[in-house]
Amino acid sequence: MPGSNPPRALVGWRLLALAYDLLPVLALWFVVAAGFTAAHGDAVRGGALGLLEFAVLWAVAGVYATLSWRRGGQTIGMRAWRLRVTDAAGGAPGWRALWLRYLVGAIGLLAGGLGFWWAWIDRDRLAWHDRTSGTRMQRIDKPANA
């Protein structure tokens, strides 16, 4: 039945959105790194402070992603490529599912992108983070007047 299920987002669209989202995340990371540099008096070069900075950078990117997904289902990059995160029923996912999605997505990226490439062989075209968190990435149709 046409229109009953929005089309799934293919891996290529996901990666384009991820690349686009790197820009606002980098801006946030520069602010965080500047704060660490100002507090430390020099660039952080490893040790406990370096681990703390890494954890804060990871958390800031997570806040950006999960807030964006919660407030409309889209990050800036996802808007550009007409993608939206939903729960399995098509509604708004909860915070737990969104943070789980972010955590597993980060692991999938660290594994050489395997978590994303998995969607090519998954029977439902789901990436690791989709399947684990119970979320789905949908491609949104173009508006009729566009």
Average pLDDT over the chain reads 89
Over residues 88-103, the mean pLDDT reads 96
Burial 57-81 (b: 16+ CB within 10 A, else e): beeebbebbbebbeeebbbebbbeb
Using a pLDDT cut of 90, give the percent of the chain over it: 64
Q: Which residue has the tokens 């509604």?
A: 91
Over residues 125-140, the mean pLDDT reads 93
* pLDDT score, position 112: 92
Closest CA to 18 of 74, 67, 63, 60: 74
Q: Express each pLDDT in 7-63 by its tens digit.
A: 666 778 888 999 999 999 999 999 999 998 888 877 777 788 888 889 999 999 999
Over residues 93-101, the mean pLDDT reads 97
Amino acid in position 49: L
Identify the band that residue 3 occupies on the pLDDT scale cut at 50, 70 and 90.
very low
Give the global pTM: 0.86
- Evaluate if residue 6 carries a pLDDT over 70: no
Domain-wise residue ranges, the chain:
11-139
Burial, 108: exposed, middle or buried (Cβ in 10 Å; 0-12, 13-18, 19+)? buried
* pLDDT score, position 146: 59
Instruction: For Cα atoms 104, 109, 112, give the angle at the middle one, nearest 5 degrees.
Output: 130
Q: Which residue has the tokens 């729960």?
A: 87
